[in-house]
């Protein structure tokens, strides 16, 4: 397991938001985190990333404890985070956004790979990120996390606000990303989750309530109705 999260408890102010989240993330796979609005999915990613400090529990990355470390240290260990609101620099070009994210890596090999996954970015190379479409901005956010040579990516709802045809592109991109990097994906779009996911976790009311192979969830209508509000 590249990442283990055990019985995590996180407060936001006085609110006890996470009350026991556990995850085991196998290397080279996409682990999807599902759950209703407000269940605690984003809070889980932010806690792993060191943006929120958990009050209890432990987080191990490659066998080493990372809970309590500040976010820049967690990032340095090789965990990339693509938040819902896409951390990109609107005033900079696509090229500048990617080159900043490359840190010390100058080989260009990773950049070539990223541009082959996202050919749209090559076309928009000299455009300001702020002038891109929603789909292109999402691809730039994913591209930035990828060129940063991370061994784990935490991706929060990449399909949010995108048209179905663009969601398909994002899905294909995540399949490609999986060939290079382990992924933890928070996603409300069940079709996308099903298409790219290998394993799943369901979080409800700040707790892990179910886990398993994605295929088992696809076949378990009861579980889908109980926690995801999917009615068939």
Ligand X SMILES: Nc1ncnc2c1ncn2[C@@H]1O[C@H](COP(=O)(O)OP(=O)(O)OP(=O)(O)O)[C@@H](O)[C@H]1O
Instruction: Name the site residues for ligand X (rule: CB under 6 A).
Output: 12-13, 15, 17, 35, 37-43
Q: Which is nearer to ligand X, 42 or 208 (CB)?
A: 42
CA distance 228 to 155: 19
CB of 48 to ligand X, least distance (A): 12
CB of 34 to ligand X, least distance (A): 9
Q: Which is nearer to ligand X, 16 or 76 (CB)?
A: 16
CB of 95 to ligand X, least distance (A): 31
| Cα angle 143-145-149, degrees, rounded to a multiple of 5 | 105
Environment class of 126 (CB within 10 Å of its CB; exposed 0-12, middle 13-18, buried 19+): exposed
CA distance 218 to 232: 12
Environment class of 222 (CB within 10 Å of its CB; exposed 0-12, middle 13-18, buried 19+): exposed
CA distance 31 to 168: 18
Q: Which is nearer to ligand X, 17 or 185 (CB)?
A: 17
Q: Which is nearer to ligand X, 17 or 196 (CB)?
A: 17
CB of 39 to ligand X, least distance (A): 4
């Amino acid at each position: 397991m590249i990442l283990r999260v055990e019985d995590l408890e996180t407060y936001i102010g006085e609110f006890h938001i996470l009350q026991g989240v556990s995850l085991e993330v196998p290397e080279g796979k996409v682990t999807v985190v599902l759950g209703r609005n407000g269940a605690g999915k984003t809070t889980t990613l932010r806690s792993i990333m060191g943006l929120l400090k958990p009050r209890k529990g432990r987080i191990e990355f490659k066998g080493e404890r990372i809970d309590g470390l500040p976010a820049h240290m967690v990032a340095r260990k090789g965990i990339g985070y693509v938040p819902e609101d896409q951390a990109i620099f609107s005033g900079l070009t696509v090229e500048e956004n990617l080159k900043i994210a490359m840190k010390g890596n100058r080989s260009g090999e990773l950049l070539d790979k990223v541009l082959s996954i996202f050919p749209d970015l090559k076309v928009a190379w000299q455009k300001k990120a702020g002038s891109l479409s929603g789909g292109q901005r999402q691809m730039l956010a994913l591209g930035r996390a990828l060129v940063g040579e991370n061994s784990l990516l935490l991706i929060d709802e990449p399909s949010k606000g995108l048209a179905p045809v663009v969601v398909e592109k994002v899905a294909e991109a995540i399949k490609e990303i999986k060939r290079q990097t382990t992924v933890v994906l928070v996603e409300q779009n069940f079709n996308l989750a099903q298409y790219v996911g290998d394993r799943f976790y369901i979080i409800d009311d700040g707790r892990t309530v179910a886990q398993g192979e994605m295929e088992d969830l696809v076949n378990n209508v009861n579980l889908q109705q109980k926690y995801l509000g999917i009615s068939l």
